[in-house]
Amino acid sequence: MDRVWPLRDAKAKFTEIVRLAASEGPQILTHRGVETAAVVSIADLRRIRAATVPVKDLLLHAPKLDEDIIEIIDTRQKDTDRDFNP
């Protein structure tokens, strides 16, 4: 379970926070009551990085659009007759 630490306490107990991150999981740090940072174990960090897929790779490996869909997209009516009243 994540534990939340105010930054002023985290400064004084940094060694304990690192130990807890390695044994119990992420330790959340707050600054003025707002969750700002986290201390995580190196194992958790590596798992997160390995699970991340760059958007570029997702787009490059996405399925191709059917010709029917492309035709629908190209022939749809362009709505340019909107009234704008600020």
Q: Are 27 and 15 in contact (CB under 8 A)?
A: no
Taking the CA of residue 49 as centre, how many other CA atoms within 13 Å lie in the half-sphere pointing to its CB? Answer: 7
Model confidence band, residue 76 (pLDDT cutoffs 50, 70, 90): low
Model confidence band, residue 1 (pLDDT cutoffs 50, 70, 90): low
pLDDT tens digit string along 2-59? Answer: 799 999 999 999 999 999 999 999 999 999 999 999 999 999 999 988 888 888 888 8
For the chain, list the domains and their CATH numbers: 3-75 (3.40.1620.10)
pLDDT tens digit string along 15-26? Answer: 999 999 999 999
- pLDDT score for 44: 94
